Structure 1
Amino acid sequence: MGVKPGGVSSRLGPGADRPSSRAPRPDVYSAAIADLTDRWGRGEPAPAESYLEGARLWPPDRAVELVYREYRLAMTAGLSPSKSAYLARFPEHRGALERLLGLDAACPDSLLGRFDEADDDPLPVAGDAIGPYVLERELGEGGFARVFLARQADLADRPVVVKVTTRPTREPWLLARARHPNIVEVLTHAEVDDGALQLIAMPFLGGAALSAVLARRRSRPAGARPSRFLDDLDATAAPEHRASGAPGPSRAILRAMSDAEAFAWIAARLAEALDHARRRGVAHGDVKPSNVLIAADGTPMLLDFNLAQDWTGADAVDAGGTLAYMAPERLLALAGDGAPAPDDERAHRADVYALGMVLLESLTGWSPADGADPGRAAGRAAFVSAARVMAEARRRPAWVIRRAEVHAGRSLPAGLRAILRYALGPDPAARYSRGLELAEDLDRWRSDRPLAFAPEPSRLHAAGRWARRRRRPLATAAAGLLAAGLVAWLATDGRSAQARLERSARHKYARILDSPESRALHAQRPGDDPRRRRHSTTAADAFAALRDYDVVGDPAWRDRDDFARLPRDDRDDLELWLLEQALRYGRALARREDSPGDWRRARDVLDRACGGAWPAPMLHLRGRLAERIGDDAPAPAPRAAHPAVDAYIRGVAAEVDDEEAEEDAGVGARRAAGFYAEMLAIRPGSFWGRYRAAVVAFSLSRWGDAADGLRACLARRPGNPVLYGVYGTCLMKMGREAEALEQCDRGIDLAPDHAELVQVRAFVRAGGPELDALRGDILRYERLRDALPDRFLRDPDAGDVAAIGRDLPLGPRRDGAPPDEAVGPEELDARAVLASRILDVDTPVDDRTPIRPDVDPDPRRLELAAREVEKLLALDPSNFRARIDRMCLSVCRRRPAEAGRDLDVVLADPRLPEYARSAPGRLDALHFAACLFAREAEFVQALRLARKLVELSLEVHEPHAHALYTLAAVEGYGAGYNSKWVPLAARHLEQAVRNNPKYEAWFRNDPLFKRSRPRVQAAVDAIRAALAPPRA
């Protein structure tokens, strides 16, 4: 089955020719194919030629389709038709038929069998392949769609969920517009079979639909011990992706809650997702338990936005949705009782009502769908009647809630009952108007705070009734006792609620800052090249951080409990970080050309983030944005920010200047260092001030300053594993490997499965003698990273080492394809540096010695380095530097044939001149390789490479003294065995020394001249004497 993203395709393969004006009408083709099929079915087979009279009038693709239909009919009849016979019968279509019959031989029987049968069911079945998607098993089916668990063959067989529908749908576009952490996103969309089917691919998140979890809870025998929510989720989860007991923030939150709190938390997150979709102009239209996924990691997700459209724009019975969860106004519209025409706001309120019904069902187990929805197949009259009856019942939300409580055999908590009564109000104007309001009340109920929108239940009602029955005996004594008890209760409850709020605020900040997977430190770690950072990634990360604290939508975000309840030092640090994110977000959006909408969003975020106190860089950025927008929005009345805040933001702005600079990127870092020093003089205990100062010091190779800053950061955040890894890297740069290992171990103890920390420890160990421990760290990193083929995920034996590289391509990819998208350039660079560090080859620090060693590295180090280079080439076969490194390693390992093959590839690579031109220092590796070839008696290869280096230096117009010296050294080595090379070596050496005198000292110390030095020196002296001017 063919598939093209955003386009159309055909099961029958090629055929793009357009029919001519004289061609038969399309119905003639279909009639001919149908008649052919019918005649074969009656036992009266007819040849395709009988239909192709006047073949010039038939487009080639339709003619091929007719011939192929006859071929399949013959196969079905058991005649075993010959492919060659068909090619001989229709020579004018030989090419297309040959390709099509070849595809027929490769197609699975399930697909071919469906082609042979009457096509009553156009939807695919398990076992089919659609483009790269192989459908493994069916997950669900509706009237016009099927959903499958599939594997994506062109991306390492990753599991995905594929939905195939026969109806056109806006779902992919709506989901793309309403992206949210609690809405399942679309990976790709395509049309299949010339638009007959629509395909949507979504990530496979495991877990189970909420409806499946609730069904399991309902099936529990009466009197059985109740199970926890996560136990029910794991029992019903998809077997391909189980996460029982797995760590994760959502599961940790759910594990710590009662079931009522867990369902309230799930409903709050879904309400936030609905509100986010509403702000993007999307209403769901069919919120129900089967359209809620609880992922394997515990995250609740909204599914199936296929009905996310204005359901009143069509006939009421065709509006879509599920009766049992509809709001009363939707039910009345379906019944045709003259309900007012709803707008987008009412559509969102209807979604929030449906979510309230889902919450009630989750809390009690009572399903509003039991016997209530006759289904549309029962006929319009029955359907309309059911809608009218249900709308009447929904006019009394207290009765609906009580019915559910009776079914559950228990009462709901008073706070939840109040929230549900407000959410299920019959009048849209008298219930929650936004999903965020429902989410806020649910979160307040969980944290024992007063409700913000629903009316509060009376906590003192029962106590007052009891006191009234005993008014006389209690009138005197109870007044004082009740007052004292009430005061004590309120004080205790207040302290308890305040303590919970403070713990929640600290936990949220710690999760953002200390989680090894958090983006808070990831994009800002020392050693990262900021110019590699994509502006879109910067904007997305910054926006996510701002959204976490509602800086995007609430100008009073500093008054929120998750900010205001933090300790003073953490609150000051968090404010700095959020202002930094606002600046980065604004700078990223300001770079977008001709995008007034983005500029306005950036300006609004700056206004909300700064409030009334503006750091100078943010005020300047706002002015630039306002000038580019050109509207009449009033400018803020700025008040100068606190000096420490202003200095910090100036430092960040200087760093961003470096990120946007094309050349001389260190200028901004040096300016930033001064601003951070100014800031720390005012707030010496600031975490972010210390960290940013350490980042800048690291980028400027000021290792001591960086180490001091990171040590201060760890004093503030001793539970942050990433900081230990960064500190270990800094200590390694200072040559303090033992201390670096200790810091790496501490980080790994905190996050044992964080691959980057294991890689940092491997870097540290690469310079030391513990090669077995180094090998273990490298192997553990690869298993955690899971980016390489399986052959690299085991400890190699001698046979594996000898076979390294045999199945890798010898030449670079010519199509310019990038390496695996999961592996970024930073990781490729890190792997290359690790290979070099394993070899422990130090470059001389003076000009007296050539840049090459005269000692053999440890064979075990050679083996480890070679394996790292092979990994590089497995991830990126076009990596030019890695191929050169492999060539050098092959020479060192006495493998001349492999080195020669790599040399052929390197010298023939068209990128070689550009490689030399972009950074001449890169050619040091080739100079090194030429001398290695000579030292290992591969004289011919050494001479080829040395001469190529001279040609390259001339071609790219770079000083060629080094290339001349390398050629002289190779010829000097040859002169030790054949005197014919002496004059050539002397001539090239004299030219190199004439351009740079340092090569005179190189010549005296170079082991390649060991056997020929006196003779070459004499020849050089003779050349100089001949060139000297005659004496007067």
Structure 2
Amino acid sequence: MSELPAQALARFATDWESTLRGERGEPPRLAGYLPDGDAVRLAVLTDLVRVDMRQRWRRAGLEKRITEYRKEFPEVRASPDYADLVCEEYVARSRFRPLDVDTFSAEYPEAAGEIRRRFSGETPSPRPSALPDGIEIGRRLDDFDLLTDLGGNDGHRMFLARQRSMQRLVAVRVEAGADSDTDTVAQLDHQHIVRVFDQRLIADGSTGKPLRLLYMQYLPGGTAEGVLARLRMESARPATPTADATPGLVRGRTSRRGNGGRHVAVAGGTGIDGGLLLRAIDAAMEAKGESRPAGSRVRTEIAGFSWPETVAWVGRRLAEALDYGQRRGALHHDIRPAKVLFTAEGVPKLADFALGAAYSNPGFTGARGGGRNEAEALRYRSPEALAALLDPAAPLPDTRSDIYSLGLVLWEMLTGALPFDDTEAADGAGVVRRLLARRIAGVPPEALAALPADTPAALRRVLLECLRPEPSRRWQSGGQLAGQLDLCLDARARDLVDPPRHSLWARLRGWPVPIAALCVGLPNALASWYNVRINKSLIVDELSTVDQHRFEQVALVNNAIAFPLAALLLLWLARRPLTVSYRLGRGHDYTPAQLARARADTLLMGERAVWIPFALWVLAGIVWPLALEGAGANLPHHAFWHFFAAQVVCALIALAYPFFLIMVYSVRSLYPQLLARGSVGPADRRQLSALARRSNVYLAAAASVPLLGVATMTFVSTADLWLVIVPLRWLSVGGVLAFVLTYRLSRLLEGDLRALVRAIPEGGR
């Protein structure tokens, strides 16, 4: 590399920024930025490691230790700044949880003296100090007039404020202290994340302590907390009872446990729909003196949703926000109803992204430094986040922890209550252990029974996947979750992926091999019957007794080879669609790459199931006459033509009819099981769309079967025509009826494919 060291370092930093903006798939590799000369290589390597480590330790899942750099670049051990790099790792790791100096020094004995010199006697970083008195409505802080208190805790508060210089309303988060990750937050520019404009550091006039002001987009539509309050209020409102209503309950509503151990009635299929979200937003806006927008297409769309569809619609957008943050190395850490804000139109946005509490909490009491606010936040934390509070050695939570928290928020929006009974008072670490134990045990049966009656099976499955105790069994990214929630918004797609338990298609899922064999075997058996009748009438009966015996021998050998060969080929090519979907239903796990291959093979299964028999039928039309002649049979010249024509008709039958039988079964019973595992994207959309286009070829083939059969009979002499009139009638009438059935199957297949295309995200996930 001929560029100067400073240029290499600047290029490396620029490429890291491109990674954070999503323009690069992976962080830059250090080796590509090192100069060729030994004299400056080590100095540049040291600076590159320092920049790379700082970026990685601020982004979950990308962390890298000095030991890993040392394995890749052994020369880093000889750097004069080696001990300084090790100490930087200590500082980076200490941001997340307490780190014992002696334990860390034992990992780097060569730098132990410098580590102890710098950090011995240190106590873990204290929690942020409390805000000074006087941070309240009516006060002016820097460029902001504080108008309305939007909530917070001892360490920070949120206000609606007027920014004087810009003459606009903004939300201002006032924090005690100056430590932050605001650089990361300010880079997040997404339609479903509350936009942070900038930050300012000021000194409190009375105490002189530093205050940090983050000013961000103001959203007038309230929070998910307001939506939950509206849900409980409207669900508890008396309705006109029916004749068979049970006293104390309204028909179509289910009693379920709410916050604080109270039972609240939440809609179970009647009375509650997307309009509830709009009413909650309008109430929040009215309280702030805002007026609702007129002629909003988004509000019209929401008003047409059922309540479970509304929850899925909101969740899908929040999952997109998580996916965006994950791809830029930012986690939320603190998802709960208070952090979900709504625009006037009803669009949800995540607030305080990447500003949530870290997972270290030395001397945790459960109520200190935030009181009720902190205790409330604990109830939305994942099992691994709770474990990290108790055990400093536990793995750090990643984006799957945010997915768990979002799943809890969506469950509460759906039912009015969390799935766990967390009603006891906070009493220190003991409450964290009890919360953790309940979440490890999984969603209890009573919580499942309390789901609204109109909850689609797909939404139930998606939320349960979010709430798996093991992170490895949840959705692995916000993109996966967003794609699954898309399924829940399309009635046809969600019924394909999660059919009613006792429906025909749900029952057929357990019999893939017999059904596939029947779909392929039945049309080929009918083709064989036609072939035998035609050949016997036009060819075999005209042969001598000896040649008839030879014909039977050739037929026996041909069938003994062709049918087992076709069966083995078909089973081999269909092994993934038939086995993967079956094993998924029994709890087996597959990697995303294996699932993608199985999905592609499933969409090709119908074509493979027809082209192999088609090729064998046509090949047999050539090989049989040649084999008969080779065996010494004396065949008339017209026999070659009749035999080949009959084989072509049979090949067309084998091509046209099994395709739609196989594909309807595959798309309705096999493919949805693979789709439900996530990791789908543009490639799957393209495969589904291509299959829809190719299916027209097979529909045309089905229409041509009776026409081709009649056309071949025009070459039969008038004297012999009466010999084949019966199979010809069966072919003509049966072909017309089969085309009608095939046409209906093709329309069914086309509708299913379109529904699945609609439910698969357009962008990469």
> Which TM-score band (shorter chain)?
0.3 to 0.5
> TM-score if structure 2 supplies the norm length?
0.42
Larger of the two Rg values belongs to structure: 1
Higher RCO (CA < 8 A, seq sep 6+): 2
Normalized against structure 1, the TM-score is what? 0.31
